[in-house]
Structures are given as C-alpha cells and as structure tokens.
Amino acid sequence: MQKKIITAGSLMAVLALTNCTSVQTQEQSQQTQAAVEQKQEETNPLLKEWTGPYGGVPAFDKMNLADLKPAMEKAMALNLAEIEAIANNPQPATFENTIEEMERAGEELGRVFTYYGIWSSNVSTPEFRKIQAEMAPKISEFNSKISQNEKLFQRIKTVYDNAQKNPLPADQQRVVQLVYEGFAMEGADLSPEKKERYAAINKELSSLYTKFSNNVLADEEKYIVYITKDQLSGLPESFVKAAAKAAADNGQEGKYAITNTRSSMDQFLTYSDERALREKVWKNYYSRGDNGDANDNNANITRILQLRRERVQLMGYDNFAEWRLQNRMAKTPQAAMDLMLAVWPAATARAKEEVADMQAIANKTSKTKITIEPWDYRYYAEKVRQAKYDLNSDEVKQYLELGNLTQAIFYTAGELFNFNFTPVPEGSVPVFHEDVKVWEVTDKTTGEHIGLWYLDPFARQGKRSGAWATTYRAHTTFDGKKTVLSSNNSNFVKPAPGEPVLVSWDDAETFFHEFGHALHFLASNVKYPTLNSGVRDYTEFQSQLLERWLSTDRVINQFLKHYKTGEPMPKELVAKIEKAATFNQGFATTEFLASALMDMHLHLADPANLDPDKFERETLTKLNMPKEIVMRHRTPHFTHVFSGEGYATGYYGYLWADVLTSDASEAFAEAPGGFYDKQVADKLVKYLFAPRNAMDPAEAYRLFRGRDAKIDALMRDRGFPVPGPQSKK
Ligand SMILES: [Zn+2]
C-alpha cells in the first residue's frame, strides 16, 4: 500500500500548470524573443531536446549535477516568458490561443524535471540534496508566478465562461474545466495582498517539505543495526546473504547489516528469533524523524499544518481537507471518513482475534512468558500462518523469481491490453544506472509503437525506499503524437552474483501494482497533457486491480515456477495462499487505517498549538487503536503527507480505490471468461484506463460496471462481515 506515484512536492503542481512543448511564435513579447534567442544557443545537456530512437529518449548518460541548477533556472525563465506571452496576447482569449498554448508551454522544464526526479528518487547524493534544498523555494516562487498571474487567469476565466455558454468538444471542455479549477484552487482569484501571502506560504511550505523528507532519509541511513553470526537465528538464507553484502558495502566486512528500510525491517521482524534485536530494529524504523535530534520532524509538522490551514482560509475554506477533496472522487472529508469508519471496527475486532491466536502460540513456544508487543506481531503472525495455513513464506518465494514475474506481467498486459514487450538492443537507450533495463512496447496486432518501459529493480544507496511508477513522457496527440516513456522502480535486494532474485508474495503483488500504473500511462489515448493528470483516490484503483492477475491460473501455471526445478507452484500451495489471503487482514487494515484516519484528523484539527506526538497518542486512544499495532506510517515520517501535498488528506485514497478494486474484480470473476474475459477486458481498457482524466471517474466507473461501486466486495475480500442493507459509496 505504500506504493506511490512519484510526486516531487510542488513540482507536480508546476508540471500540471505548465504542461509541455515548444515556444509559441505569435505575438511574442520582447521577453519571449530574448528567451528564444537564448534557446537557440542552448548547450546545457539537461535542456536539450531528446534525440535518438523511439521519438527521442532522455540522455540519462549525460547527467552531470553541475548542469542541474543552471538548467532549472533557465527552463523556468523560458516557461515564464511563454506564459507572459500567452497572458499578454492582444487577441480575445480562445481555447486555441490560451489553453492550447498553455498545454504546449514548458517543454524544457518538463525535460529538466525528468532528470531532477531521477536524482531525487533513484540516485540521490548529499550534493544533490543541497541543490534540492536551494531550489525548492525558487520552484515554489516560479509556481506562484504562474498560478497568480492575473492576466493569465482572466483569459482562462473568459474561455471557461464562454465554454459554459457554448460548450466545446468534450475533451476540450474537460481541459478547460480542469485548468480553470486548478487555478481557482491555487488562489488565482485572490486580492493582491492575499496573493502575496499565499505565495509566501507556499515558498515556506516547499522548504519544509524538502526538510521533512531529507530528515527521514537521513534517519534511514543513520540507524543501521549490525549483527554478528551468532545472531542470525531464524533468518532466511537469502536475507543473510544480502545483509552480509550490505554490511560489507558499509565497510563492516564479516558482519550483517539490518538497514533501516521497510523491506529489511519487515523481513527481520518476520523471521528473527532474537526478540531484543527485533525490538531494536522496530524502534529504529518507527522512530524515524522522531529522535529529538537535528533530524526531528515534529516542529516541521506543526508548521506545515498551520501554513496549510492559513493558505486555504485565504480562499474561504475552513480547513485543508475540505479544500483538497473538492475535486477528488470522494468530494468531501465526511465521505472519506464515513468509508474509513465503516471498515475500522471490523478491522480492529479482527486484530484482537489475531493477537489472541499469536498469544496462544507464544505461550506454547516461548521459554519465558511474553506478552505480544508490536515488534512481535510479524514474527508470531508468521508462526500462526504456518500453524493455521501451513504456509511457509520462504517456500512461496522459491516460486517467485523476478525474471519469471517480469514475463508474467508482460503476459497479462498482452492478454488485457494487446501489448507486446521486447527488450531494446543493449546500449540503444541511455540509462542512469547499469541495473536499469528497457523494453519497447508495441501493439500485438498492428505492431504500432506505443512506448518504452524502464525497470530499475534493485535497492541501493541514494535510492528512496518503496516502489513507485513514473513517466518521463506522457501520451498526447494534440500537437503531433507523443509516445509514452514509463518507468517502474523497486527496491528488491540485489542478489549475490549468480543468485536468483526471489521475492515475497507481497513484493510480487507490488510488482504487479506498479506495473498497473505503467499500463495506465501506456494505455492513455488522451489528446491534451492535462487530461493525463490523476485523481488521487482513483489512480490507485487501476494499479490495485492489476494485482489480482498474480493469482490467476494462467499466471501461476506459466510463470510461478520453482527457481531450481522449473515446476509450477503446486495446486496445494496455491490453495493455501488463497486460503491465507484474508490472514492478518486485521493487522494490515488497522495499520493502514490508523495512518489514513490520522492524516484526516491532523488536517481537521486546530493546528495553532498542535503537538504532533501528543496529538497522535490522543487520537489513537480515542480510536481504540490496538496497542500491539503501530500506524503503518507514524506522523514524524509520514512522507506521503508531509514531504509534499500529493497524499495530504488523501491517504484514505488507497481504501477508496480498494473498494473499486474489489468491486471491479468481481466483474471479472463473474464473467464467462473470468479474468481473461475479452469483453470485460475491452471495457476495462476503454473506460477505466485509456481516458485517464478525460472523463469524470464516477461516470467512467458506471460505464464499466453498469452501477456505482459497493463496499460489500471489499469486506468479503478481507474476510470481514458484510454490513447490512447494501451500502453504497
Ligand atoms: Zn500505486
């Protein structure tokens, strides 16, 4: 669930406002003229047009950090000149001379931010972080200059008002609506004094976001637990090997490093027999950003919440949540809360049952009497899993080899989307690290080129944790066809040379999940860049839905093969996995919902004197949070919410999307062809993937399903009791 689409804080807002391409030529202001001249003598590699095969590809082999700052400054100046020219056009405002020109502007900036995103997420260094901290307020200022450009907004408003009277073609109408609402939500209608304050707030926020995420990263790098050979009891061999390598990489040859990342913590807590070490690893992980030292995030959180509240109050909203959710599928904080609270009691009740099962096993097996603590949860859950379901995670892993899984996602894409994946010739497409591999995506029937797919599979220093998907170039046709450059990024532990990459069932699901985002990018058929934008509580749906294909018969029989014998996963093991699917849902749903509810409560509370630690404790007490479970992301390292605005009051979106996922997957399960039913697959692509944001999500869903989604399928999937009279959301 912590999978996310990359959001670089306010950067996405910048890109959303300035979506891409070349300089317009009519009515150029002097400023634009100067910009054009500059453009012609451009030598900075980060600004240069992408050349080479497949409609041009990023020059990842020419990335030099010294070029970044000048490139960003220049790209922002060029884009501002373009915007000025649009705003000062003496002709009456039309869709073509205003909206379409805006869609076209910011080409250089889009390119620089592609590189910036790679430095920030894939190959970060202390030197880069310095530049990032320096640039964050400048980017915010730049963003404000556009969103608060009075003349520009008046032109947008004119086009919008005219379109209300005389509607444009559907896709243009949607673009106008999204652009207009985007500006209005960013304070374009404010008085000059309020606008000034608005911009100052955003500038301060952007620095705080950078500080917040850098503090978390610093604590992830700082708190590594080194253990010795006699402390390895219970740990799987693959983990031990990787831990030895990680220790050696950190100059601690002969020891074993338990790094402070989710996958390392998760595995260690599941398998290690050393209870005191489990506690230590757990404490390190859940104290990130909360250590009372230079990297402590508590003061940053309070300030962020205060500034967010102040900013939306300038526009007449009560609180950040109300402002944020107006254009989400949920529409109001109440609707999101209602859904969360409908699921919460079932989740915590199930957690209590899980703890009772674990305590019983602990009583039987532990030499000393123990009470289940949070650092025991995963360990005893694994024991219960083995006892109740006789399911050994390590045995399952033997059938989940990364190369086979990659073929499995390609097969799925072939069946549902009619896509074909072929590795590009070695060296033909530049990459930013030798581990990155690239495939060409074509239509299976026509052979038409659709795009490229980059995969950066392994964890390494300077790469952010978790898994995510992003695009370097999105599909559009309004200005000539542009094909998609999509990417998936994971943090699989790189094996010792010659060893296979075996992953957990969860990680395999995540792999399908992120690929779902990539397919969503690749399937796009929209004309305008703005229509590629995502609706936060909806864009996780497509990716979550794709996870369901991992456990289909065809994938299991063809691709989930034992890495040594090549035998497909045995029927009994599959049955056990299916039976165990609702296992530990009390834990998973509770840890997620605690974070999602906290996110919403933090933004609904009065931030004036808010103490995040105290607020977190008190809110959890009020919610009756089981003491054996901790929030999936505690507030001081909740980067979804505080290292940018993408998921602020939006973390519930995963659950919202999951309701849609469960409901949509029943559409497949009920179809004659099951998960490979051609008719349902066609509707899936046509209504749920290809239109992206060109259609209202609720309407798109109704076209797919013939009705609104219901919560019932989700409750069934998690093994919770289905609530009384059919509940709609
Ligand atoms: Zn996702």
Residues 271-300: tens digit of each pLDDT:
999 999 999 999 999 999 999 999 999 999
**In this structure, are 183 and 68 located in the same domain?**
yes
**In this structure, are 98 and 170 located in the same domain?**
yes
DSSP 526: -
Calculate the CA 595 to chain-centre distance: 16
1 CA → ligand 1 middle, Å: 7
Ranking 287-291, 292-296, 440-444, 706-710 by mean pLDDT, the lowest is 706-710
User: What average pLDDT does range 423-440 have in this prediction?
Assistant: 97
User: What average pLDDT does range 348-365 have in this prediction?
Assistant: 95
540 CA → ligand 1 middle, Å: 5
Residue 377 lies in a domain: no
641 CA → ligand 1 middle, Å: 15
Q: What is the pLDDT of residue 725?
A: 57
Q: Is the pLDDT of residue 19 over 60?
A: no
543 CA → ligand 1 middle, Å: 6
- Full domain range(s) for residue 157: 60-189
pLDDT in tens, 207-237: 999 999 999 999 999 999 999 999 999 999 9
Residue 257 lies in a domain: yes
C-alpha–C-alpha distance, residues 438 and 536, integer Å: 28
464 CA → ligand 1 middle, Å: 15
Bridge partners (DSSP) listed for residue 256: 227
2 CA → ligand 1 middle, Å: 8
541 CA → ligand 1 middle, Å: 8
- What is the count of structural domains for the chain? 2
**In this structure, are 72 and 177 located in the same domain?**
yes
516 CA → ligand 1 middle, Å: 8
544 CA → ligand 1 middle, Å: 7
Q: How does the average pLDDT of the chain come out, rounded? A: 91
Q: What is the pLDDT of residue 10?
A: 28
472 CA → ligand 1 middle, Å: 17
71 CA → ligand 1 middle, Å: 30
**In this structure, are 177 and 244 located in the same domain?**
no
Q: Is the pLDDT of residue 642 over 90?
A: yes
Q: Is the pLDDT of residue 389 over 50?
A: yes
Name the percent of the chain lying above pLDDT 70. 93
- How sure is the predictor about 729, in pLDDT bands with cuts at 50, 70 and 90? very low
Q: What is the pLDDT of residue 29?
A: 38
539 CA → ligand 1 middle, Å: 7
**In this structure, are 184 and 71 located in the same domain?**
yes
6 CA → ligand 1 middle, Å: 9
Name the percent of the chain lying above pLDDT 90. 82
91, two tokens: 């002709």
Q: What is the pLDDT of residue 15?
A: 32
35 CA → ligand 1 middle, Å: 38
Q: Is the pLDDT of residue 35 over 70?
A: no
pLDDT in tens, 43-72: 899 999 999 999 999 999 999 999 999 999
**In this structure, are 179 and 254 located in the same domain?**
no
Name the more confident of 728 and 22: 728
Residue 247 lies in a domain: yes
Ranking 63-67, 144-148, 154-158, 291-295 by mean pLDDT, the lowest is 144-148
- How sure is the predictor about 140, in pLDDT bands with cuts at 50, 70 and 90? confident
Q: Quick one: CA torsion of 494, 563, 269, 584, rounded to 10 degrees?
A: 130
Residue 253 lies in a domain: yes
Q: Is the pLDDT of residue 30 over 80?
A: no
Domain's final residue, options 235, 266, 287: 287
70 CA → ligand 1 middle, Å: 33
pLDDT in tens, 77-92: 999 999 999 999 999 9
Residue 520 lies in a domain: no
Cα distances (Å, whole numbers) of residue 75 to 18, 70, 105, 529: 11, 8, 11, 18
**In this structure, are 166 and 244 located in the same domain?**
no
Q: What is the pLDDT of residue 466?
A: 87
Q: What is the pLDDT of residue 32?
A: 41
Task: Give the CA radius of gyration of the chain.
Answer: 25
Residue 109 lies in a domain: yes
Domain's final residue, options 287, 304, 327: 287
Q: What is the pLDDT of residue 449?
A: 98
Ion ligand 1 contact residues with beta carbon within 5 A: 3, 540, 543
C-alpha–C-alpha distance, residues 77 and 83, integer Å: 10
**CA-based nearest residue to 246, from 461, 41, 413:** 461
- How sure is the predictor about 581, in pLDDT bands with cuts at 50, 70 and 90? confident
User: Helices 68-87 & 126-147, crossing angle to 10 degrees?
Assistant: 10
Q: Is the pLDDT of residue 203 over 60?
A: yes
**In this structure, are 130 and 231 located in the same domain?**
no
Residue 248 lies in a domain: yes
84 CA → ligand 1 middle, Å: 36
462 CA → ligand 1 middle, Å: 21
468 CA → ligand 1 middle, Å: 7
Residue 463 lies in a domain: no
387 CA → ligand 1 middle, Å: 32
**In this structure, are 83 and 163 located in the same domain?**
yes
pLDDT in tens, 677-693: 999 999 999 999 999 99
Q: Is the pLDDT of residue 38 over 60?
A: no
User: What average pLDDT does range 586-612 have in this prediction?
Assistant: 97
Q: What is the pLDDT of residue 3?
A: 33
Cα distances (Å, whole numbers) of residue 728 to 298, 608, 710: 38, 37, 5
C-alpha–C-alpha distance, residues 384 and 379, integer Å: 9
**In this structure, are 101 and 150 located in the same domain?**
yes
User: What average pLDDT does range 315-330 have in this prediction?
Assistant: 93
Q: Is the pLDDT of residue 5 over 50?
A: no
Where do we find the tokens 């100046």? 77
**In this structure, are 177 and 228 located in the same domain?**
no
Q: Is the pLDDT of residue 6 over 70?
A: no
**In this structure, are 68 and 129 located in the same domain?**
yes
469 CA → ligand 1 middle, Å: 8
Q: What is the pLDDT of residue 263?
A: 85
CATH number for position 151: 1.20.1050.40
